Amino acid sequence: MSFNVARKRMVAEQLVGREIKDQRVLQVMNEVPRHHFVDSGLWIRAYEDGPINIGWGATISQPYIVAFMLEALELQSTDKVLEIGTGCGYQTALLAHLAKTVYTIERVKELFFKARQNLKSLGLRNIVLKLGDGSLGWKDYAPYDAIIVAASAPSIPKPLLEQLAEGGRMILPVGGESHQDLVLVKKVQGRVLEKTLLPCRFVKLKGQYGHIKE
Ligand code: SAH
């Protein structure tokens, strides 16, 4: 099966088949080559219905979870987005197609360089990468219309809340070892509204507002 066929099938079965409806999200997941972000030994697994280990304790999330989070963010093509946990850059590439500019932070040096290379070779230019502790956010470019966190936090990191724009949306997994939930946060007229959407399982957020302060 070619990658294009496998990808179409992933979208039809794993996303449309499970009620992902946002046409822009479906289109971009049909276009961005997920296999490009993993080592060639893992290409065969690139469009499977599950997470993929990418080393250094990181995983690319299951396609359905990525689509679910992107749909929940209701991204506009004019949005400025902050992503915490670049990993190999797959979700960053999707965000770059859906929003105007993506600011993304990864704390593992090897993944940061890998993601930078992966994204550069796809010719994406509206992405700014940073190596550092994303639990602190990125004040220089705040506020953000949307924030997405790809690792589970013990609670919503305060700096991220502060850096969310009025009318902004944030999605992140919150919880510990045994139980986590995807939480959608909205800032409406200065008030913070939280909604629990789905149980999930992510790798842990490290850093100052993470589980492990290193
Ligand atoms: N979205 C990624 C998935 C990455 S998995 C992808 O598509 O590949 C979660 C990532 O969060 C890991 O790469 C991990 O190193 C990173 N991470 C954990 N704590 C972090 C922190 N405080 N700041 C930035 N990145 C962090």
At residue 87, the pLDDT reads: 98
Looking from the CA of 146 toward its CB, the CA atoms found within 13 Å total 25
For tokens 């994303």, what's the residue?
A: 134
Q: Which CATH number fits domain 3-200: 3.40.50.150, 3.90.1150.10, 1.10.3720.10, 3.40.50.300?
A: 3.40.50.150
Dump pLDDT digits (tens) for 190-204: 899 999 999 999 999
User: What's the burial of 146, exposed, middle or buried (CB within 10 Å: 0-12/13-18/19+)?
Assistant: buried
What are the boundaries of each domain within the chain? 3-200
Task: Tell whether ligand 1 has an atom less than 6 A from the beta carbon of residue 180.
Answer: no
Question: How distant, in Å, are the alpha carbons of 5, 140, 171, 180, 185 from that of 94?
Answer: 19, 23, 15, 24, 21
Which stretches of the chain are DSSP H helices?
Answer: 3-9, 23-31, 63-72, 90-98, 109-121, 158-162
Atom of ligand 1 nearest to the CA of 85: 11
Strand partners, 188: 191
Residue nearest to atom 13 of ligand 1 (CA): 87
Q: Is 22 helix (H, G, I), strand (E, B) or coil?
A: coil
Atom of ligand 1 nearest to the CA of 115: 8
Task: Tell whether ligand 1 has an atom less than 6 A from the beta carbon of residue 149.
Answer: no
Q: Check if 61 is active-site.
A: yes
In the predicted structure, residue 178 carries a pLDDT above the cut 90: no
Residue nearest to atom 2 of ligand 1 (CA): 87
Of 38, 42, 68, 84, the residue with max ligand 1 atoms within 8 A of its CB, to mutate for a pocket test, comes to 84
Average pLDDT of every residue of the chain? 96
Dump pLDDT digits (tens) for 94-132: 999 999 999 999 999 999 999 999 999 999 999 999 999
